[in-house]
Chains A and B, each alone.
Chain A
Amino acid sequence: EVQLLESGGGLVQPGGSLRLSCAASGFTFSGYAMSWVRQAPGKGLEWLSAISGAGGSIYYADSVKGRFTISRDNAKNTLYLQMNSLRAEDTAVYYCAKDRGDWNYFFDYWGQGTLVTVSS
Chain B
Amino acid sequence: SYELTQPPSVSVSPGQTASITCSGNKLGDRYSWWYQQKPGQSPVLIIYDDKKRPSGIPERFSGSNSGNTATLTISGTQAMDEADYYCQAWDSGTYVFGTGTKLTVL
| Binary per-residue interface labels of chain A (93-116) against chain B in the complex, 1 for a CB within 8 Å, 0 otherwise | 001000010000111101111000
Is B45 within 8 A of A111, CB to CB?
no
- Given contacts A45-B86, A47-B94, are A110 and B1 in contact (CB under 8 A)? no
A112 to B37, CA, bound (A): 12
Identify whether the interface residues of B are mostly helix, strand, loop, or mixed: strand
Residues 55-78 (chain B) with a chain A CB within 8 angstroms = none
- Bound form: Cα–Cα A109–B31 in Å: 18
Q: Please give the distance in Å from A45's CB to the nearest CB on chain B.
A: 4
In-complex Cβ contact of A108 among B54, B96, B98 (8 A): B54
- Asked whether B88 is an interface residue with its Cβ less than 8 Å from the other chain, the reply is yes
**With contact pairs A95-B42, A100-B48, A110-B42 given, residues A50 and B97 touching in the complex (Cβ less than 8 Å):** no
Tell me the complex Cα distance, A108–B16, Å: 28
B44 in contact (CB, < 8 A): yes
**Chain A residues with Cβ under 8 A from B31's Cβ?**
105-106
Number of A-B contacts (CB under 8 A): 53
Chain B min CB distance to A11 (Å)? 20
- Of the candidates B1, B33, B43, B54, which one forms a contact with A62 in the assembled complex, judged by CB atoms under 8 Å apart? B1
- A59 CA to B96 CA in the complex, in Å? 12
**A111 CA to B41 CA, complexed, in Å:** 10
Q: Contacts A62-B1, A113-B42; is A44 near B86 (CB within 8 Å)?
A: yes
A105→B96 CA distance, assembly (Å): 10
Main secondary structure of the interface of A (DSSP, over half): strand
Q: A106-B48, A106-B88 are in contact. Are A45 and B100 (CB under 8 A)?
A: yes
Among B45, B94, B98, point to the contact of A61 (Cβ < 8 A): B94
Q: How far, in Å, is A62 (CB) from chain B's closest CB? A: 7
Q: With a CB–CB cut-off of 8 A, which chain A residues contact B45?
A: 106-108
Binding site for A on B (CB under 8 A): 1, 31, 33, 35, 37, 42-45, 48, 54, 84, 86, 88, 90, 93-100
